[in-house]
Structures are given as C-alpha cells and as structure tokens.
Homo-oligomer: A and B are copies of this chain.
C-alpha cells in the first residue's frame, strides 16, 4: 500500500472519527443490534447514523479506509461489519517511526 494513500485516507475529519469510534465500539455504538460487535465490528448503518453524513458517503469512506489497510470488513447476511485492522495500524506506526 502506497504511503500517500494511507495519509490521504487519514486526511479527513470524519474518517479519523470513524477510526476513533471503532476503538471503543461499546461506548460509541450503544444501540448496535448485534451483540457480537466487539469481535466482528460495527455495521455501516450505525456508523452512518453517528456520522450524520449520507449512506453513500460513509460507504465510500469505509472503503477508502479499508483500501489503506486501516480497517477490515466482514459480511454477515445483509450487514457489513467494519473494525480496526490492527496489523495495518501497526505498519503505519512503523512507517512513521522509521521511514518518515
């Protein structure tokens, strides 16, 4: 993954917020219907409601974050759950500390 694309993914207030929300799903998504969300993640709809932006925008933002390896998704029935991608985030941390 291109470094520039990672930083672009992070160059947006809402996308940074999403990353933050996914850090503590229980706190930020108290109404999440799926009780399993701590492991599988949070579904698009919940993130969309919290963000206040349109469904299409959030869907796109999530795929931008995913392309940058910052989050990952799991499809379960009609829902797509997103959660933080710890591996990608650690890689970013390494980039910052060594290459930058």
Contact = CB atoms under 8 A, between A and B. Distances in A.
Nearest to A14: B4
Task: Label chain A's interface by main secondary structure.
Answer: helix
Interface string A1-27: 001100110111100100110000000
> Interface residues of A toward B: which range?
10 to 19
B13 A11 contact: no
Given A19-B100, A20-B99, A89-B100, A4 B8 contact: no
Interface of A: 3-4, 7-8, 10-13, 16, 19-20, 89, 92-93, 96-97, 99-100
A93 B96 CA distance: 6
11 contacts: A3-B10, A3-B16, A4-B10, A4-B16, A7-B7, A7-B10, A7-B11, A16-B100, A20-B99, A92-B100, A96-B96
